[in-house]
Amino acid sequence: MTEYAVRAEAIRKRYGDTYALDGFDLAVRTGTVHGLLGPNGAGKTTAVRALATLLKLDGGRATVAGVDVSRDPRGVRSLIGLTGQYAAVDEILTGRQNLEMFGRLFHLGGRRAALRAGELLERFDLVEAADKGVGGYSGGMRRRLDLAASMILAPRVLFLDEPTTGLDPRGRGEVWDAVRSLVANGTTVLLTTQYLDEADKLASHITLIDQGRAIADDTPAELKNTVGGDLIEVVVYESRELPAAAQVLARVASAPPGTDPETRRVHAPVADRVAALTEVARELRDRGIAVEDIGLRRPSLDDVFLRLTGRRTEAAPAPEKTEVAA
Ligand SMILES: Nc1ncnc2c1ncn2[C@@H]1O[C@H](COP(=O)(O)OP(=O)(O)OP(=O)(O)O)[C@@H](O)[C@H]1O
Ligand SMILES: [Mg+2]
């Protein structure tokens, strides 16, 4: 078995004047979940489609399980599964019928297709819903069926393009469980996402992509450390009190605080979460600074991105609170 299930070296893909991939590098260790994390338009889907041989490269070199994607695309296709950003299952059919149909598309023959469908329905916890129309499935059930469909031939490498976008927390959790069970069964997974917390939960390694290039490649813990720890965030009632609040935060922070006058928000990374929160709350009260909200949150993709590039991702998601004391 090759050490790297997926390797890309300086790959390029051009659309008109823009390079969607502009010298992108990637190395995915066999048997792991690798996260490809980046904002809208960063090049995630292009990378996945190129590695899955659905797009021709304009430069560079890539291999999947040691097989060159440009020289032997058929060879690569026999080793991989792909679940796209948009689901491919048929609404009219039941879950079981969908899987059997995919099995026959892959020339399994009726009996083997039915057997495989049964196994996959069990593995992805869809036995109860198996004979119901997919039109009535929840978002999480559909994504799991989509995952099952891409597993018909038990691929060595599975590409998942934003498998949980648009799902509620429960649906996301269900998909995460399904991905974990795939990896436990020996599949290597390359997963794209816009959420640091998702990559954090699933991936042992993350590549951050921006404008077609890898701008960071590390473990989730190390990526979060580039921000300098969890963040303490304070919303003051009056923006004129922001500088004073920033001073208070600076005393406990591991990096200079950032302020946003528009939202009356000041935030800074802290090493010791709870002690910092307690001290900041007391100090703000002692100085008579009126506070609308105070809390701790984990670094988001936007925080990591800002630290590495000096820019914000375009659609920064609302900060996710992990604890609130006010
Ligand atoms: N078929 C195409 N024709 C022209 N430009 C394209 C095409 N596909 C992608 N692009 C451009 O290439 C860049 C990368 O797009 P890509 O879809 O790979 O990004 P992404 O990271 O998957 O984004 P998202 O998070 O929105 O899915 C973008 O600037 C996009 O506009
Ligand atoms: Mg995409």
Domains and CATH numbers, the chain: 4-223 (3.40.50.300), 226-324 (3.30.70)
What is the whole-number distance in angstroms between the Cα of residue 210 and the centre of ligand 2?
Answer: 12
State the pLDDT at residue 197.
85
Which ligand 1 atom minimizes the distance to the CA of 16? Answer: 4
Q: How far is the CA of 142 from the centre of ligand 1 (A)?
A: 24
How many angstroms does the Cα of residue 324 sit away from the middle of ligand 1?
38
Which pLDDT value is given to residue 90?
83
Considering only CA atoms, which residue is closest to atom 3 of ligand 1? Answer: 15
Task: Say yes or no: CB of residue 38 within 6 Å of ligand 1.
Answer: yes
Give the ligand 1 atom nearest the CA of 38: 21
Distance CA 212, CA 41 (A): 9
Residue 78, ligand 1, Cβ within 6 A: no
Q: Report the pLDDT value the prediction gives residue 303, as an integer from 0 to 100.
A: 84
Count the neighbouring beta carbons within 10 Å of the beta carbon of residue 3: 10
- The DSSP result for 151-175, as a single string, is TTT--SEEEEESTTTT--HHHHHHH
CA of 132 from ligand 2 middle (Å) equals 30
Residue listed under structure tokens 């927390």: 169
Whole-number Å distance between alpha carbons of 316 and 313: 6
Q: Output the pLDDT for position 315.
A: 54
Q: Report helix, strand or coil for 33.
A: strand
Length of the chain: 326
Chain centroid to CA 296: how far?
A: 22
For residue 45, report the distance from its CA to the centre of ligand 2, in Å: 4
Q: Residue 36 CA: which ligand is closest?
A: 1
List per-residue pLDDT tens for the chain, 326 residues long.
689 999 999 999 999 999 999 999 999 999 999 999 998 999 999 999 999 999 999 999 999 999 999 999 999 998 998 876 555 778 889 999 999 998 888 888 899 999 999 999 998 889 999 999 999 998 889 888 988 888 888 889 999 999 888 888 888 888 898 899 889 988 999 999 988 889 989 999 999 999 999 999 999 988 888 887 889 999 999 999 999 999 999 999 988 898 989 999 999 999 888 999 999 999 999 999 999 999 998 888 788 888 888 777 765 444 444 444 33
What's residue 174's pLDDT?
A: 83
According to DSSP, the β-strands at 80-83 and 157-161 are: parallel
Mutate to test the pocket of ligand 1, among 13, 18, 19 (most ligand atoms within 8 A of CB): 18
* Short-list 297, 177, 236, 219, CA closest to 37: 219
CB distance 84 to ligand 1 below 6 Å: no
44 Cβ inside 6 Å of ligand 1 = yes
Cα–Cα distance for residue pair 8/34, rounded to 1 Å: 13
